[in-house]
């Protein structure tokens, strides 16, 4: 509308000049002068009536004060659940699966029969071993009889000492053959027993990896038939960085005799918190040089067996409580290449971009190490539109 008025004003002035020029030719001089003067006055009145453009409204920014309070420093680690014991079920002899005697995904007890492998080849091996044992026993009896016959004769020099030595040697060989044959029988009996695969522990059994009629064994065809997991307690394995490990180790050492087992909280993939709290049960012996982290295993009671192995989970723990430290809202922090900045709004409403050093998490805030003073106001809304030196209207949110 303003632009249109300016254009209209210019057109009126131009019209006045043209009419004046024409009038000076067709009218008397005094009339032409009067007409020109009147048109100029009207045009000037029209041009002077245009409106001024309104000033842009001042940007309103939500701010929060830098506060000093007691905070609980917590740490979170990402991990996966595992059974307290995850026992693999394998075939220890080669053969064809004849029976599967369990329901997948249910509880089994230690010693329960799980799989049966075809026993016929194993029974044949056992029969062969027993036959070899019988032959060895026969040779042993013959050697024993020869020795008993020759020894009295040797005592009266009726036979040579060489014949006695040979009889003693034969007896020794026969005895050794019997022991070897007995061992073969025992081995065949053990292998026959492996045809019946039983649960090594009590726990939850998974889906079978082998079906009836499939060839399994401990050679090239060896596979894990199944896995049984003890679910109560459930274990969670996670990694801790070298820096975090040193922090917790030094913190525990500083507590001396007052130190207690650290209580852990388990957060599940849906955001819910496991009702039972846990504790660390094992720590790896070394830091992985490839990842710079160390493996930690924690245990959590799982009486309802809700948690199964392989679940994504986060482990949270309160490291320590710091008293009277400065904190700044995470919403105010602007990160750039690992460095943090905040927009500070002074009492005149002028914005200042400032570098700050922050450390531990404190819920929705971070602990301030340097760069801010208690009570200073930092912008938390619309910080993408701010820059140093910009005048804003600060709206205190807390």
Angstrom distance (rounded) from CA 249 to CA 294: 12
Judge whether 39 and 199 are in contact, CB under 8 Å.
no
* Residue of 294, 280, 285 lying closest to 244 (CA atoms): 294
Q: Is residue 55 part of a domain?
A: no
Whether residues 357 and 375 share a domain: the answer is: yes
Task: Check residue 67 and give its pLDDT.
Answer: 87
Residue 171 lies in a domain: yes
**In-domain check, residue 162:** yes
The CATH number covering residue 204 comes to: 2.40.50.100
CA distance 210 to 220: 15
Is there a single domain that holds both residue 170 and residue 207?
no
Give per-residue pLDDT as tens, 245-270: 898 888 888 877 666 678 899 999 99
Q: Tell me, what CATH number does 185's domain have?
A: 1.10.287
Whether residue 307 is found in the same domain as residue 371: no
User: Structural domain of residue 246, as residue ranges?
Assistant: 74-83+230-320
> How confident is the model at residue 153, as a pLDDT?
86
Q: Which two tokens stand for residue 76?
A: 């979170």
Residue 350 lies in a domain: yes
CA distances from 175 to 132, 169, 170, 171, 179 (A): 13, 10, 9, 6, 6
Same domain, yes or no: 78 and 141: no
pLDDT over 50 at 131, yes or no = yes
Quick one: which H or E segment has residue 142?
A: helix 120-155
The fraction of the chain above a pLDDT of 70, given in percent, is: 84
| Same domain? 100 vs 134 | no
Please indicate, yes or no, if residue 277 is contained in any of the structural domains: yes
Asked whether residue 316 falls in the same domain as residue 242, the answer is: yes
178 part of a folded domain = yes
Model pLDDT, residue 12? 46
Question: Cα(338)–Cα(330) distance, rounded to whole angstroms?
Answer: 14
Q: Binning pLDDT at 50, 70 and 90, where does residue 160 land? A: confident
User: Are 261 and 311 contained in the same domain?
Assistant: yes
Looking at per-residue pLDDT, the higher value among 201 and 157 belongs to: 201
Q: Tell me: pLDDT of 35 over 90.
A: no
Would 54 be classed as within a structural domain?
A: no
Residues 235 and 294 occupy one common structural domain: yes
**Peptide linkage before 233 cis (omega within 30 of 0):** yes
* CATH (domain of 312): 2.40.30.170
Dist CA 212 CA 97 (whole Å): 5
End-to-end CA distance of the chain: 43
> Do 261 and 245 share a structural domain?
yes
- Which of 290, 305, 320 lies at the terminal end of a domain, its last residue? 320
pLDDT tens digits along 55-88: 557 788 889 999 888 887 778 899 999 999 999 9
b/e per residue 219-237 (b: at least 16 CB within 10 A):
eeeeeebbbbbbbbbbbbb
**β pairing state of 67-83 and 234-241:** antiparallel
Looking at residue 253, its pLDDT comes to 82
Q: How many structural domains is the chain composed of?
A: 5
Task: Give the Cα separation of 300 and 316 in Å (integer).
Answer: 13
Query: Where residue 158 falls among pLDDT bands split at 50, 70, 90?
Result: confident
Q: Which two tokens stand for residue 396?
A: 């205190």
- Of the three residues 268, 294, 320, the one that is the final residue of a domain is 320
* 304 and 235 housed in the same domain: yes
Helix (H) or strand (E) holding 297: strand 293-300
Crossing angle for the helix pair 2-26 and 29-47, nearest 10 degrees? 180
| Residues 241 and 275 reside in one and the same domain | yes
Residue 52 belongs to a domain: no
The verdict on 292 and 314 lying in the same domain is yes
């Amino acid at each position: 509308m303003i632009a249109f008025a300016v254009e209209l004003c210019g057109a009126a002035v131009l019209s006045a000049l043209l009419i004046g020029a024409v009038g000076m030719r067709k009218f008397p001089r005094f009339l032409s002068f009067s007409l020109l003067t009147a048109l100029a006055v009207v045009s000037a009145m029209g041009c002077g009536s245009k409106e001024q453009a309104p000033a842009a409204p001042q940007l309103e920014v939500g701010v929060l004060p830098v506060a000093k309070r007691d905070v609980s420093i917590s740490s979170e680690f990402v991990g996966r659940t595992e059974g307290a014991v995850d026992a693999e079920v394998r075939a220890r002899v080669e053969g064809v699966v004849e029976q599967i005697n369990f329901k997948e995904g249910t509880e089994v007890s230690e010693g329960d029969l799980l799989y049966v492998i075809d026993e016929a080849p194993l029974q044949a091996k056992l029969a062969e071993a027993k036959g070899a044992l019988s032959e060895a026993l026969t040779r042993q009896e013959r050697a024993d009889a020869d020795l008993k016959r020759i020894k009295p004769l040797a005592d009266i020099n009726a036979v040579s000492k060489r014949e006695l030595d040979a009889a003693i040697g034969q007896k020794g060989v026969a005895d050794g053959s019997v022991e070897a044959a007995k061992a073969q029988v025992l081995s065949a009996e053990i292998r026959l027993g492996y045809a019946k695969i039983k649960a090594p522990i009590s726990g939850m059994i998974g889906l079978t990896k082998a079906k009836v009629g499939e060839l399994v064994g401990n050679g090239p065809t060896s596979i894990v038939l199944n896995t049984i997991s003890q679910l109560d307690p459930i274990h969670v394995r996670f990694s801790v960085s070298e820096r975090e490990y040193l922090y917790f180790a030094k913190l525990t050492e500083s507590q001396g005799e007052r130190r207690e087992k650290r209580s852990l909280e388990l957060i599940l993939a849906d955001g819910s918190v496991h009702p039972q709290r846990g504790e660390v049960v094992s720590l790896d012996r070394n830091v992985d040089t490839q990842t710079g982290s160390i493996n930690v295993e924690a245990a959590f009671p799982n009486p309802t067996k809700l948690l199964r192995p392989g679940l994504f989970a986060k482990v949270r723990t309160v490291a320590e409580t710091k008293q009277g430290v400065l904190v700044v809202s995470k919403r105010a922090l602007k990160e750039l290449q690992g460095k943090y900045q905040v927009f500070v709004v002074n009492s005149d409403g002028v914005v200042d971009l400032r570098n700050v050093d922050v450390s531990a998490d404190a819920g929705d805030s971070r602990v301030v190490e340097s760069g801010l003073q208690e009570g200073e106001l930092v912008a938390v809304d619309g910080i993408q539109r701010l820059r140093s030196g910009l005048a804003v209207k600060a709206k205190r949110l807390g």
